[in-house]
A and B are shown apart, each in its own frame.
Chain A
């Protein structure tokens, strides 16, 4: 409650509370400073968050490829390894099982195809040796 002072003409004028009345003149500055700090901190947080999110999105994050940077990174890396491994397996495995020599009987052929007439010449693998001509079993 503010005190009232009397003017010489009898009019009363509310007296402003002094700083020594238990409330410092710097009180608004305290609140303003806290708000400024909060806003600045929030702005910094959002800026850094955006920066490292972009860094991660465009493949510049220091943790990429280490397995730390998410399951996508791990899956992609493992997938890539599987692709390479499959390629290695295909290129290094024997092209085709060796063809049965002529006269040895068609039983070996029949084991695969069930008929003596089936010839391994239909196999897609390139073989330097010519495919044996289908022969009837000579037993």
Chain B
């Protein structure tokens, strides 16, 4: 049977469209936050582009603040993504369907990944504000697992997202995922190197023989 082009009134699907839009925004903000977070600290912080150096001098914690703000905005967008689904006239999910993994009938595995990923991001993201009670070192070790929440969000987008097959979403997701994977591997490798080779106190060097810190770094991903 020949298919006919159907013109649909979008005002009948406001909740569904809002859920899709908030999901896309959540993924964009989350990806940006993860990229910024992986860039903070380590050797990457020493290779700030010249254009950003004046801003970095004026606001030394610019990256940290941007990381925090995009992360919180992503959490708000994730919440909006779930709540707007409650108004969807086709899916008709209950609050339990969007809060408990594997309860919903629509693609339960990938939807469940999104729910679990959201909880991971919520817990590990907001733990920043309780890091003094948790202990800074312990919090840093735990905060690394935010990458798992991000990965679950990407799988949720690809497996259950309406727009997953659209080029305008698929290509940015693929490119940003590759960037995050590279940054993550580089950070893991850097942490491993630092653990194996602890820095010993070096003897005093004459000023004329001192080398700039950026020149000491070799083989980093940012070069």
Q: Which residues of A are interface residues toward B (Cβ below 8 A)?
A: 26, 29-30, 33-34, 36-38, 41, 44-46, 48-49, 51-54, 56-59, 61-65, 68-73, 76-77, 80-81, 84
Contact = CB atoms under 8 A, between A and B. Distances in A.
Contacts, number: 91
B77 interface: yes
A41 B4 CA distance: 36
A68 B65 contact: no
10 contacts: A36-B69, A41-B25, A44-B25, A48-B20, A56-B8, A56-B10, A64-B6, A64-B8, A70-B8, A77-B4
Interface string B82-126: 000000001000000000000000000000000000000000000
Interface of B is mostly: helix
B7 A41 contact: no
Interface stretch (B161-169, B175-183, B206-214): B161-169
Nearest to A29: B59
Contacts of B73: 37-38, 41
Contact of A62 (B7, B25, B77, B166): B166
Given A44-B25, A62-B162, A53 B10 contact: yes
B92 to A, nearest CB: 12
B24 interface: yes
